[in-house]
């Protein structure tokens, strides 16, 4: 059985929509079924669950995700409300930064301090290919969002790179170099087959050790540290201001150190990115008047089950096969 005190980190999906269609997140040409607005948790419902269910059972660290969370109306107000809770030890947000330039200061003023931004290429044409965009390049607006986040003082500022063979794997050194003169934290993520089996079968994936070897050959690598709750192995180029993280979910299972659960935008609590065993429909129960103490008990029981679910998932080889896309899960 798991130690309930270890599971203290909740990833909260605010919306299942996104203004990008990244190759590693959504299959090309697919029409996704999005939740209707009335099927999403309202801000009031979300805050009630955080204050009266999640915090009492031990959650103190929260990350807002999507889809693209900055598309959620009133996201700044929600950040302010969660950040103001005395029990909130850490609040972070994951974004594609397309809307960030105009929102960075407001989010910071509302109490957000940590932000993760997807940046899979420094070449506009490759970037647009990855995000599934045709027309005027979106790279510059994303880069302006990153610069704005840096300027207002987000720290750590993490940039997430999903490495896709034959697409952006030739940029690993250029992306790693962003950590040299800025206190930025570049995180290389192994490509996973979630909702994109065709691309995965065609492209395959590159393991983190191969990427580290490239960087080590160019600059050397030492152990590093960065504040956060994630599963990254952290390194540093000697003398660099920032760090390099490697998230190796394909080559090296980290289920045994997973401290997180996921709340979907439509109110389902899931114990694992790759396994829905035991998931709880909190929204339906909240709306039908199930007492909060009962919801707390259900969450406690799911926390106790989580280590078994993780290992069963790993041992059965089901990790890496998933019908829903990453944007629908709240990756």
Three-point CA angle 283, 287, 290, nearest 5°? 95
Q: List, for residues 274-325, the tens digit of each pLDDT value.
A: 777 889 999 999 999 999 999 999 999 999 988 776 544 444 444 444 455 5
Query: Once rounded to an integer, what is the mean pLDDT over residues 81-90?
Result: 98
Three-point CA angle 161, 164, 170, nearest 5°? 80
Q: Which domain holds residue 24?
A: 4-329
Q: List, for residues 27-79, the tens digit of each pLDDT value.
A: 565 555 666 677 899 999 999 999 999 999 999 999 999 999 999 999 999 99
Q: What is the pLDDT of residue 178?
A: 98
User: Within 13 Å, how many C-alpha atoms sit on residue 141's CB side?
Assistant: 14
3-state secondary structure 76-113: HHHHHHHHCCCCCCEEEEEECCCCCCCCHHHHHHCCCC
| Average confidence score pLDDT of the chain | 86
Is residue 111 predicted with pLDDT exceeding 90?
yes
Q: List, for residues 119-164, the tens digit of each pLDDT value.
A: 999 999 999 998 888 888 999 999 999 999 999 999 989 999 999 8
Q: What is the pLDDT of residue 231?
A: 73
- What's the structural domain count of the chain? 1
Q: What is the pLDDT of residue 196?
A: 52
CATH of the domain at 87: 3.20.20.70
Is residue 331 predicted with pLDDT exceeding 60?
no
């Amino acid at each position: 059985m798991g130690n309930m005190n270890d599971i203290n980190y909740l990833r909260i999906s605010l919306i299942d929509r996104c203004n990008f269609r990244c190759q590693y997140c959504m299959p090309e040409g697919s029409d996704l079924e999005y939740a209707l607005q009335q099927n999403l948790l309202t801000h009031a419902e979300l805050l009630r669950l955080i204050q009266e269910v999640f915090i009492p059972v031990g959650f103190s660290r929260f990350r807002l995700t999507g889809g693209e969370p900055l598309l959620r109306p009133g996201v700044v107000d929600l950040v302010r409300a969660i950040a103001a809770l005395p029990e909130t030890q850490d609040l972070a947000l994951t974004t594609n930064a397309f809307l960030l330039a105009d929102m960075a200061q407001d989010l910071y003023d509302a109490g957000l301090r940590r932000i993760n931004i997807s940046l899979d290429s420094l070449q506009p044409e490759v970037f647009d290919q990855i995000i599934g965009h045709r027309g005027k390049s979106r790279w510059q607006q994303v880069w302006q969002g990153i610069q704005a986040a840096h300027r207002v003082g987000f720290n750590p500022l993490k940039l997430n790179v999903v490495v896709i063979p034959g697409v952006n794997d030739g940029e690993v050194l250029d992306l790693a170099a962003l950590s040299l003169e800025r206190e930025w934290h570049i995180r290389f993520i192994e490509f996973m087959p979630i909702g994109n089996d065709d691309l995965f079968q065609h492209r395959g994936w590159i393991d983190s050790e191969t990427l580290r070897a490239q960087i080590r050959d160019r600059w050397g690598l030492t152990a590093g540290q960065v504040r956060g709750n994630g599963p990254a192995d952290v390194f540093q180029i000697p003398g660099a201001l920032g760090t390099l993280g490697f998230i190796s979910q394909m080559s090296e299972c980290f289920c045994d150190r997973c401290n997180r659960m996921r709340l979907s935008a439509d109110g389902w609590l899931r114990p694992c990115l790759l396994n829905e065993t035991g998931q709880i429909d909190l929204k339906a129960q909240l709306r039908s008047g199930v007492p909060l103490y009962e919801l707390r008990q259900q969450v406690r029981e799911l926390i106790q089950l989580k280590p078994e679910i993780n290992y069963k998932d790993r041992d059965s080889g089901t990790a890496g096969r998933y019908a829903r896309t990453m944007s629908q899960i709240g990756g």
